[in-house]
Amino acid sequence: MNIDSPRTLRGPIDGAGLRPDLELKKADLHLHSNVSYDVLNLPELSPRSLYDRAVERGMGFFTLTDHETIRGIQKLRRELDEEFDGAPPIPVITGIEMKVRDPKIGHTIHVNVLGLDQRQMLELARRRKSVDRFLDFCRSEDLYHAYNHPFWFEPGERAPLSTVTELIDRFPVIELNAGRIPQLNGRTLEIAQRFGKQLVAASDSHTGRIGKAFTMAPGATPEEFLRNIRNGAWRAVPNHTSFLGFIEEVQDTIELVFLKQSAFQVKDTFLRQKPMARRITRAALGSEFVMRPWFFKRVVGKAMKMMAVPPAYAFILQQRMMHRGLGHADSEATA
């Protein structure tokens, strides 16, 4: 596989167990609502708004994987059960994205766990400092669990290619993430296929872009759907980020904020690793003067769109540099 070419990941990828006679349903298995700490507190990004959008876009199942909590998806499930008498338009899958910080690994990894309950979430939370204990519990409870965006690292963290490769080998399901450039997703695909792992494609959207990437599998129930993915009867339909695509998403979000909203409070957790940016954002979005629906509001929105260009370019450049660095690691390993 030529992982330097974006063409290597065009079109769907089928699992070894997928048969042409199977009826497939689709789901975006990595999605964040405004319950997540790093998502703006906008009504358009609420669990119910995202659910309604998933129905409109033809999803067969719906899940939220908010950071470290199932509060949003549980509340949505109760609301839908009451409104539709236990038979909502599409079934809901309880999900969560959890950080695992194992000192032996040396960097933080993100794991999606689906189909869990409150007890299982609390047990997993107690095991977040040990990949061994975390994975053992998932296996003992027969829980779907996936290694998210392998080539993503917390600020200040990095890992050698060998460590990421070893982690991919330890997980049953590996994610192709729409927030990664095609070259990094290509690396993920190549390593996952080398070890015979199952693949899913997901949006990881924090801005409501449900189905930017998605996974298809047969199954009348969430349990059957997830089981079939784990057994190889899946079709991953990936997408990838680029500078133009990323800046378009950022600018769409800015437009949503400045054209459709009045003043609102920015969460303390938003941009928590960039306190100066959070203070500026909070001052602007929390000001009735700035957020009034008039000319000044539009001017501020346009200014923020322009200000978003350098960080967006830096985001893509960082991934490209990481890809080049991993290429050097490949060369050294085979020398």
Q: What is the dihedral of CA 116, 52, 50, 210, to 10 degrees?
A: 100
- pLDDT of 25 > 70? The answer is yes
CB-based contact 146:176 (threshold 8 Å):
no
Give the tokens for residue 137.
């519990």
Mean pLDDT of 107-129: 98
| pLDDT tens per residue across span 42-61 | 889 999 999 999 999 999 99
Whole-number Å distance between alpha carbons of 208 and 34 = 10
Return all residues near 85 (Cβ < 8 A) that are at least 6 apart.
none
pLDDT, greater one: 76 or 286: 76
| Domains in the chain: boundaries | 6-241, 244-330
pLDDT, greater one: 195 or 254: 195
Whole-number Å distance between alpha carbons of 276 and 10 = 39
| pLDDT tens per residue across span 254-273 | 777 766 666 556 666 665 66
- pLDDT of 280 > 80? The answer is no
The pLDDT, as a whole number, for residue 224 is 98
- pLDDT of 164 > 80? The answer is yes
The pLDDT, as a whole number, for residue 273 is 61
Mean of per-residue pLDDT scores for the chain: 87
Whole-number Å distance between alpha carbons of 98 and 67 = 6
Q: Which of 52-56, 160-164, 297-301 bottoms out in mean pLDDT, i.e. has the lowest?
A: 297-301
Whole-number Å distance between alpha carbons of 270 and 304 = 17
Mean pLDDT of 213-221: 97
- pLDDT of 153 > 80? The answer is yes
The pTM assigned to this predicted structure is 0.86
Q: What class does CATH assign to 6-241?
A: alpha beta
The pLDDT, as a whole number, for residue 113 is 98
